[in-house]
A and B are shown apart, each in its own frame.
Chain A
């Protein structure tokens, strides 16, 4: 697919195929088109040319059943500051028709370590706590397809461990995951495939099994410097 804004191509002839349960780390320098790719794949933006297929079905943004299968962590938390943690999750849970919602809210808050902040307004949370709550929001409806856009931003070491725990659980449950990150180590450690974008094009697309940390850093620099 291709995405153009005006005459400028943000993504050019990008072709990716990810099997169900695949974990793809998307790397690339700033401005490479990673977030645009995520927005197109999560059905927020239509491509200018080409098509997105999810589970073999052409993805239509207007199809609510398909959007119910998608969870997104973006740069922003997508949370209402004046509502409490539980109220935010309750609101999103009702939008996604989550069954047994009170129990599910308790469960996800426990998983991200915010069980004791159930009734606290989000505006009183630190950046890291808000990001953890954003993770809880994204996994609340147990989506089959997850997009994480720089999820490590603003997280302390404890929160990074929590996020990695969530990512491992989701990977073990065979959910399909796209992780956009600048952190090679995390990407290589968790993903089974690495994609490098440069100026809107895929310049590298390989399984992680054959890649080693130190070598990969050199390879990455070669790829992004052209």
Chain B
């Protein structure tokens, strides 16, 4: 029953995005702009550029992700649709799980499109094991979305939510960003999985803790 309701809520989010294309288009355009600006600002063949590329990639992923997170609850504020969800016989944590799932899908799609563009624009020869790199990006994105969705719900109750959300998200995201950038950097420069195991463990633990905390507190977050 719980997962069926989550499925219905995710279906609605995907259909809304398919119709409006507001979220995914702004996220893709932002990522593309970051790629182009950094590609012109740095010389792609310099070693320094290759070293900072993982950081640039995560800047693009997370900042584009914040754009998506801002929209995630803005669509529910129009016509007070969030009230409709709160009135429905749905466990309120199902709303959180559904929003995390939809935000993960939108952020993941942006990453799938923009990551190859980074490699092309920066003339980067990927030496990493693709599986471990995908796992790193998966865990990093999940942590970002788990925290971001919770804080987006909290910020959406304020009039300055679009300014407030990044200010709340990034300080909380510091452990995820450090772990994700370090693991990505090591893997992209040809490091083996043993070298990133501790970073991946940190990402995994962070994801579990913040998913659990947000899951428990989301009900109160909607009451604010």
Binding site for B on A (CB under 8 A): 42-44, 62, 64-65, 67-68, 70, 72, 74-83, 87, 91-92, 94-97, 121, 137
Contact = CB atoms under 8 A, between A and B. Distances in A.
A44 B16 contact: no
A92 B79 contact: no
A95 B80 contact: no
A137 B85 CA distance: 12
**Size band of the B side of the interface?**
20 to 34
Contact of B83 (A44, A64, A87): A44
Interface of A is mostly: loop
B11 to A, nearest CB: 8
B12 A80 contact: yes
B78 A74 contact: no
Given A65-B89, A67-B89, A76-B80, A82 B20 contact: yes
A94 B8 contact: yes
A62 B8 CA distance: 19
14 contacts: A43-B87, A44-B86, A64-B91, A67-B87, A67-B88, A76-B80, A76-B83, A77-B80, A78-B79, A78-B83, A80-B79, A91-B8, A91-B11, A95-B8
B16 A83 contact: yes
**Chain A CB within 10 Å, residue with most, of B78, B83, B88:** B88
A131 to B, nearest CB: 11
A92 B9 CA distance: 10
B87 A72 contact: yes
A96 B88 CA distance: 7
Contact of A80 (B81, B86, B219): B81
Nearest to B4: A94
B89 A95 contact: yes
Given A64-B89, A77-B80, 13 more contacts: A44-B83, A62-B219, A78-B80, A78-B87, A80-B16, A80-B75, A80-B79, A80-B81, A82-B20, A83-B12, A91-B8, A95-B8, A95-B85
B79 A77 contact: yes
A102 to B, nearest CB: 15
**Chain A CB within 10 Å, residue with most, of B87, B88, B89:** B87
B19 interface: yes
A185 to B, nearest CB: 28
Given A44-B86, A64-B89, A67-B88, A91 B80 contact: no
Contacts of A94: 8
Contacts of A137: 84
A43 B5 CA distance: 20
Interface string B74-116: 0100111101111111110000000000000000000000000
Interface in B1-47: 5, 8-9, 11-12, 15-16, 19-20
A96 B89 contact: yes
Nearest to B86: A44
A10 to B, nearest CB: 16
